[in-house]
Structure 1
Amino acid sequence: MRILMVCLGNICRSPLAEGILKDKVKKAGLEWEVDSAGIGDWHAGELPDQRSIAIARRFGIDITDQRARQIRKEDLLDFDLILAMDDSNLRQVHLLAKQLSQTKAQVDMIMNYSEPGKNRAVPDPYYGGIDGFEKVFYMLDEATDRILERHQQSEKRIANS
């Protein structure tokens, strides 16, 4: 399984989502690849926002090995699942997908895993304080639990077929 998390600049929400899911995947002993990217390239090459780093660290997760990057067309061919943080990110990923004749990735909103069909956005905490980052962490923690559960169940069904 290859999963890509997408937000606007790839310094706040998607790095947290990547770090949280990577931590869970490692603890579960799974061989999944988890990455993140931004719609824009404004922060390409930069570390995640210091507040994302701090809140992840508070929960025992180190995201300082991540560097921001912009999503590429190839990502739609390379990843199985691309998860957007909000409607705007989702629309941009779909626009990118339309430029390709074929895509591999399933594209969805990340919160549809914890709240199916609601298309709830993960709020961008960039212009707020650490409390916003903590709220985002908890939202992504719940959603990533559901991602892990759903895809592990799917893998078991396939293995038992």
Structure 2
Amino acid sequence: MTYRVCFVCTGNICRSPMAEFVFRARVAEAGLEERVEVDSAGTGGWHEGEGADPRTVAVLRENGYDAEHTARQFDPSWFGRLDLVVALDAGHLRALRRLAPTERDAEKVRLLRSYDPAAGEDLDVPDPYYGGPEGFDACLEMVEAASRGLLAAVREHVEGRAA
């Protein structure tokens, strides 16, 4: 059985595609690409059909990640096929939980930085859209740090399913 993870931010052009590509790389490194499916979406459709922000593409490529992406909006019907919905900030968390058709679906939504034990109390990945390149670098650092813990959690689920 495939374990499905979807990262969600506002417009699906900065944070969530960054998280998608970083996590997809971690999944591949762990040899789990046949068992874990990774994608991303936005809470809104403002950028639907567009590529990722050029600054996201630049920071991903500079750090050895893929960056081919087309933005799309999260659809509540996806909850039925997803195992985990990863929000990039508390606003996305609230919005996604409101969209969830059932309580069980709402429980699938988690904050990305909740998987980083060093994150402290502020679990938001700040939106770098209105800033300069340093915001995208900081976003990548947060995403990479949280991806290690997220991979451990997903691996536990995947291996538990195989048992």
Q: Output the TM-score relative to the length of structure 2.
A: 0.89
Residue deviations 1:113-154 (CA, integer Å, cap 9, x gap): 003884610000000111100000010001111111122234
Structure 2: stretches of 5+ with no match in the other structure: none
**C-alpha distance in 2 between matches for 1:39 and 1:133:** 20
Secondary structure of the 2:76 match is coil
* Structure 2 residue 148 is matched with structure 1 residue 145: yes
Secondary structure of the 1:74 match is helix
> Which residue type is aligned with residue 49 of structure 2?
G
Deviation at 1:95, TM superposition (A): 1.1
Residue deviations 1:59-96 (CA, integer Å, cap 9, x gap): 111112x1100000122111100010111111110111
- Counterpart of 1:123? 126
Q: Output the TM-score relative to the length of structure 1.
A: 0.90
Structure 1: stretches of 5+ with no match in the other structure: none
Among candidates 1, 22, 34, match of residue 20 of structure 1: 22
- Counterpart of 2:7? 5
**C-alpha distance in 2 between matches for 1:119 and 1:154:** 26
> Which aligned runs of 4 or more in structure 1 are off by greater than 4 angstroms?
101-105, 157-160
**C-alpha distance in 2 between matches for 1:121 and 1:54:** 22
> Which residue type is aligned with residue 28 of structure 1?
A
Deviation at 1:26, TM superposition (A): 1.5
Count the aligned residue pairs.
Answer: 157
